[in-house]
Chains A and B, each alone.
Chain A
Amino acid sequence: MVPISYYLVLSAILFSIGVAAFLIKRNIISIFMSIELMLNAVNLSFVAFAHQWHQVSGQIFVFFVMVVAAAEAAVGLAIIIAIFRSRSTLNVDQVDLMKL
């Protein structure tokens, strides 16, 4: 027997680590990977709530999140390749054309 709140706390831990990595990392690919980590953390809480209320719709949500994450990864990595072609760097501190 595992309380559902344990799963939610695990999801909170993963999400917070994802937020910290998103803010700390300077490499654009690592930043993109921490976004995937946050998506996974939210998926875990969706599955936990689907188990709590015995509803299939929580798992349907996770399915759609996976589909959108796959599309997002394809487009995002293409954008990263385009950035690397034009600026030949992956450091976000040097991609600051729109910064004040």
Chain B
Amino acid sequence: MHLVLFFIFGGLCVAGALNLLFQRHPINSALSLIVVMSSLAVLYLLLGAEFLAAAQVIVYSGAIMVLFTFVIMLLNAGREERTHGSKAAYAIGIPGAAALFAALTYIFLSNGTHLSSASLGEYLVTTDALSRVLFRDLLLPFEVTSVLILVAVLGAVALARKEN
């Protein structure tokens, strides 16, 4: 059951990411990124992270991607055209990413014997346990991130404002 769900939603993730890579219009890339993020939420749920699965749907595929699609439509972004720089990027980018993937996969699979395997419902972090750590041991970092969000909102308004 777990393996089937993993392959369905993992495959959906990879398909969405590849679609993001090969689409030339940014709105298609944005929509396929929403597919990737929503399937990642299901994978989080399989790994017993129920709060993070909900936060992934609300924050990532909800708020952040709405912001992206909003900006794409606001700026009326069209298809990207091929330039001389994109040929060099293809020549370096694809082999570089493939080499990175090969190195990472080799490390993970050669050391994978030390790692255990996950089964469904074996380990579940409830929101209760997560918030106990977050609001007791890590209260100061949590408050600092709220200041960071405030600064980011002010910075975004200041940057996007029309200059007179």
Cβ B159 vs Cβ A7 within 8 A: no
Q: How far is the CA of A90 from the CA of B111 in the complex (A)?
A: 43
The dominant DSSP class at the A interface is helix
Q: How far is the CA of A75 from the CA of B77 in the complex (A)?
A: 19
Q: Given A12-B105, A60-B133 in contact, is the A78-B160 Cβ separation under 8 Å?
A: yes
Q: How far is the CA of A81 from the CA of B159 in the complex (A)?
A: 8
- Which size bracket describes the interface of B in this complex? 35 or more
Write out, one digit per residue, whether chain B residues 102-138 have a CB within 8 A of any chain A CB (1) or not (0).
Answer: 0011001101100111110001010001100110001
B52, B81, B159: the one within 8 Å of A62 (CB): B52
- Residues of A contacting B40 in the complex (Cβ-Cβ under 8 angstroms): 40, 43-44
B50-86 with Cβ < 8 A to chain A: 51-52, 55-56, 59-60, 63-64, 67-68, 71-72, 74-75, 77, 80-86
Q: How far is the CA of A19 from the CA of B89 in the complex (A)?
A: 11
Cβ A74 vs Cβ B156 within 8 A: yes
Cβ B149 vs Cβ A9 within 8 A: no
B2, B26, B133: the one within 8 Å of A2 (CB): B2
A23-76 with Cβ < 8 A to chain B: 23-27, 29-30, 32-34, 36-37, 40, 43-44, 47-48, 50-52, 54, 56-57, 59-60, 62-64, 66-75
* Interface, chain A (partner B; CB < 8 A): 1-10, 12-27, 29-30, 32-34, 36-37, 40, 43-44, 47-48, 50-52, 54, 56-57, 59-60, 62-64, 66-75, 77-82, 84-85, 90-93
* Interface, chain B (partner A; CB < 8 A): 2-3, 6, 10, 13-14, 17-18, 20-21, 26, 29-30, 33, 36-37, 40, 43-44, 46-49, 51-52, 55-56, 59-60, 63-64, 67-68, 71-72, 74-75, 77, 80-86, 89-90, 92-94, 96-98, 100-101, 104-105, 108-109, 111-112, 115-119, 123, 125, 129-130, 133-134, 138, 141, 145, 148-149, 151-153, 155-160, 162
